[in-house]
Chain A
Amino acid sequence: MTHLRNVAGLTAIMLTVVTAAAACGGDGARSGDGTFVVGHAEPDHLVPGNTTSSYAFDVLSGLFENLVGLTKDGKTVNQAAASVTSTDQKVWTIKIRPGQRFHNGEPVTATSFVDAWNNAAYGPNAYEANDYFSHFLGYADLNPEDGKTKPKTDKLSGLQAVDESTLKVTLSAPFSQFPLLLTYPAFAPMPKAAFTDLKAYENHPIGNGPYQMSGDWQRNGAIKLVPFAGYTGTRKPRNKGVTWKSYSNADTTYTDLRAGRIDIMQTIPAAKVPEAKRILGDRFLTRQMGTTDYLGFPLFTGRFNSPDLRRAISMAIDRQGINKAVYNGDYIPADSLLPAVIPGHRPNACGEACTYDPAKAKQLFDKAGGFKGTLELYFSSAQPTYAQWMQIVANSLKQNLGITDIQFRQIPAADYFSTLSKKAEKGPYRQNWEADYPSAQNYLENMWGGAGNKMGWKSKEFDDLIAKGNQAGSEQEALRFYNQAEDVALREMPQIPLWTWAGQGGRSKRVDNVTITAYSNGLLAHEVTVK
């Protein structure tokens, strides 16, 4: 018996020791070394042309500097470039600012851009951002239509290093938004050292940005960035470093923010927002975003041919009501096809068609001859909120228009986009667009343009206006054409705008001057100050 008592006693002692050891290693471990920690999800790749993930952009924007960057309000500003000019919007001459170096000491030259872009545009490399190079002359030679034959060449014919500091780009068609396109993270330069072993490079990317890697990429762990002493640009870090820490679960990221183990979280899960507002107070960070949700009509089915029917459905949806019920009233109901953070947004461009008016909606609905048969609503399983608001939409359509036979089609997130691409949907579907770069063209051409829209909507008038905007010599002129194109899309309403997302993040007491933009530059890490 004594020996058993001993066992119990020993156990008690072990528990105490273990708990005490744990206490030592707890919160106090984070020293005031002037660095801060941001929690996000694991990036997929860190080679600039091989990712379209915003979590990768988080890291890349510190490691790299593009020719052109964005300000807080989405205006272009030359970064690695001294000038970007064109007379016909087709041939662009880019002068590179002298004296820039990569983290390994290599100078940044025109060749650094040519090599990186050819590598990303070459089809067999299968880079995720490949499509962003499709504006370049010669893109088709690197990406054969059928995808089977080996390309004739691995160099874009429209891309040329004239000398060390001059880059000449020829596009396949005039594109006035080219400087904005250059802000997309895939257009970063890469040093010669990268191409000897791209796999090794990915574990320790060498860029030309204000921060460099400290140690290798710890997959599913942390990416530590420290200021690069040789940086000559305008984004000089005001802190001693930033650590991007990976989380597989946003709820846990939020818990760690509360526990003070991370300093910044960019997107707090919707369900935690009310609590976060209360707990964080002025450390709760709201921001405008560019991501907008739309409800598209599969015109190819022939069941949604009447613009009046489409407008009736738009007017039967209570955008503000859904916003309050599902998003705590933080989202912004759409009044145009473009979100407010995009140049060219005109308040109330959509007018009556985006205003909740059940009586008028019913009138239009009857005029269009109503809707017969089952109405199927398509959305993905990516967020639980999609199912919630689709439910409300269905109820509105039942009550306001009398469509009684409504069914939900929730598609696994991984298959949703291919379902739309194959035009397999039979009813209105949810789709969103997140800006690649702040231009009306980016939204309109990708979501409504003849080449890629998922509705099967064809409008020569629309496509011509976009082409005119792409050729325009000035930003004002381009916007005028884009807005005219927007008006065509609003008149026909093949896809109705719903609302624009709001970004809700938080910071710890240790950091200040936290700015998160609505664009691909995201968190401006270099501006953050650490107490």
Chain B
Amino acid sequence: MRRYTLRRLLQAVPVFLGTTLLIYLMVFALPGDPINALAGDKPVPESVVAALRARYHLDDPLLVQYGKYMIGLLHGDLGENYDGQRVADMLAGRWGVTLRLAVTAWAFELVFGIALGVWAGLRRGRLADTLVLGGTTLLIAVPVFVLGYGAQLLFGVRWPVFPSAGTDEGWPVGYLLPAMVLGSLGLSYVARLTRTGLAENLRADYVRTARAKGLSRARVVGRHTLRNSLIPVVTYLGVDLGALMGGAIVTEGIFNLPGIGQQVFQSIQLKEGPVVVGAVTLLVLIFLVVNLAVDLLYGLLDPRIRYE
């Protein structure tokens, strides 16, 4: 298992290099000039444009630009955006917001998704099951911005149970409503995966054997069936945690949460190469680590799975 972990971590190095280059090329290929966009429609003198181009190496050939960026990166310098803000500071400021939102949404998915799934799975074909299946279908079908604006108007303005937007109230209060909106899709998948896995496995031979041995129902369901049924759920939750960390452009926008998703979106529009590359590279790394953790977790859930 140690060798496996090491191998996976080493694999991350070429992935890291590949993504940075690829993203750099993609941002470079975007139409438009980042310097001309800076001052809007007020005139900018040639001397200012030239100074900015020189400051951010924009006149160098693409590969030289990329090389300079990578050298900076190896020294722990993520560079600056075209407003002169350090990318490291920008990401650090936004990272906390995204992390809080993602973890809250994820915890919401995990707790309520599995709980609903178990509830429905144990009552297959009965009212509870129908309710969960119908409700989750609805949540999957409704686009997130409808859900977001709807929840905001109902629970932020009409009946102000939650703050309508912003992070003034801090964690957790300021993050609950957006996390529920953001997590509703994942919750639906988790509930459905748990419900189906549980309902299927409850009919398996080993469950009948366990029952015949006279084990308590809680032990049969909790230890024998649920643990086995959770493998697809864990896979989904792992991938989803990675995705949630990537920021949620729509949810962050509706609830005015200055997270990483918003930053990447704005920076792509402004062609701020260093910001986009920095943020996305970080996301790729997180995604790799989370995936590794998920793979290692399989072994805990199902002892038959071994990594060499």
The residues of A with any CB-CB pair to B shorter than 8 Å are 1-4, 7-8, 11, 14, 18-19, 21-27, 29, 44-45, 52-53, 123-131, 134, 142-148, 151, 199, 219-221, 245-249, 251-253, 255-256, 258-259, 261, 412-418, 421, 431-432, 436, 446, 452
Contact = CB atoms under 8 A, between A and B. Distances in A.
Interface string B36-48: 1111111111111
B46 A256 contact: no
B165 A255 contact: yes
A123 B33 contact: no
B254 to A, nearest CB: 6
A221 B83 contact: no
Given A7-B118, A259-B164, A414-B34, 7 more contacts: A25-B163, A29-B169, A143-B47, A147-B48, A246-B258, A256-B166, A415-B33
Contacts of A1: 122, 217-218, 221
Most buried by A among B46, B166, B222: B166
Nearest to A44: B83
B42 A131 contact: yes
A267 to B, nearest CB: 16
A23 B36 CA distance: 47
B152 A8 contact: no
B115 A7 contact: yes
Interface string B164-184: 111111001110110000000
A145 B48 CA distance: 10
B32 A252 contact: no
A280 B239 CA distance: 45
Given A3-B218, A415-B37, A259 B156 contact: yes
B91 to A, nearest CB: 11
Interface in B118-140: 118-119, 122
Contact of B51 (A18, A147, A245): A147
B66 interface: no
A417 B38 CA distance: 10
B166 A261 contact: yes
Given A4-B221, A52-B40, A220-B93, A147 B49 contact: yes
Contacts of A413: 37
Contacts of B160: 26-27, 259
Given A221-B167, A255-B156, A417-B41, A146 B46 contact: yes
Interface residues of B, number: 69
Given A52-B39, A248-B256, A148 B50 contact: yes
12 contacts: A18-B176, A21-B172, A26-B169, A123-B47, A246-B258, A248-B252, A252-B253, A252-B255, A259-B156, A414-B271, A415-B37, A418-B32
- The prevalent SS among residues of B at the interface is helix
A7 B42 CA distance: 61
Contacts of A52: 39-40, 42
Given A219-B93, A418-B33, A245 B166 contact: yes
Given A52-B40, A148-B50, A221-B258, A123 B45 contact: yes
Interface in B248-305: 252-256, 258, 262, 266, 269-271
A417 B221 CA distance: 65
Contacts of B44: 128, 130-131
B220 to A, nearest CB: 9
A444 to B, nearest CB: 15
Nearest to B97: A220
Contacts, number: 188
A249 B172 CA distance: 22
B164 A22 contact: no
B161 A26 contact: yes
B26 interface: no
B9 interface: no
Contacts of B176: 18, 22
Interface of B: 31-34, 36-52, 55, 83-85, 90, 93-94, 111-112, 115, 118-119, 122, 149, 152-153, 156-157, 160-169, 172-174, 176-177, 217-218, 221-222, 252-256, 258, 262, 266, 269-271
B111 A14 contact: yes
A266 to B, nearest CB: 17
A131 B43 CA distance: 7
A252 B166 CA distance: 9
A189 B167 CA distance: 34
B163 A26 contact: yes
A523 to B, nearest CB: 20
Contacts of B52: 126
A147 B153 contact: no
Nearest to A420: B41
B255 A143 contact: no
Nearest to A255: B164
Contacts of B122: 1, 4
B156 to A, nearest CB: 6
A21 B175 CA distance: 12
Which 6 residue pairs spanning A and B have beta carbons closest together?
Answer: A147-B50, A123-B47, A414-B37, A220-B258, A143-B47, A418-B36
A183 B44 CA distance: 20
Given A8-B119, A25-B169, A126-B51, A415 B36 contact: yes
B40 A417 contact: yes
A510 to B, nearest CB: 15
A314 B32 CA distance: 31
B83 A414 contact: no
A483 B286 CA distance: 63
A22 B173 contact: yes
A220 B41 CA distance: 23
Nearest to A7: B115
A261 B41 contact: no
Contacts of A130: 44-45, 47-48
Nearest to B221: A4
Contacts of A256: 164-166, 256
A128 B38 CA distance: 8
A128 B173 contact: no
B16 to A, nearest CB: 27
A143 B173 CA distance: 52
A249 B256 contact: yes
Contact of A25 (B34, B49, B115, B173): B173
A249 B255 CA distance: 9
Contacts of A22: 161-163, 173, 176-177
A416 B37 CA distance: 8
A146 B59 CA distance: 14
Contact of A255 (B43, B50, B94, B157): B157
Contact of B262 (A14, A219, A248): A248
A128 B83 CA distance: 10
A248 B176 CA distance: 20
Contacts of A24: 173
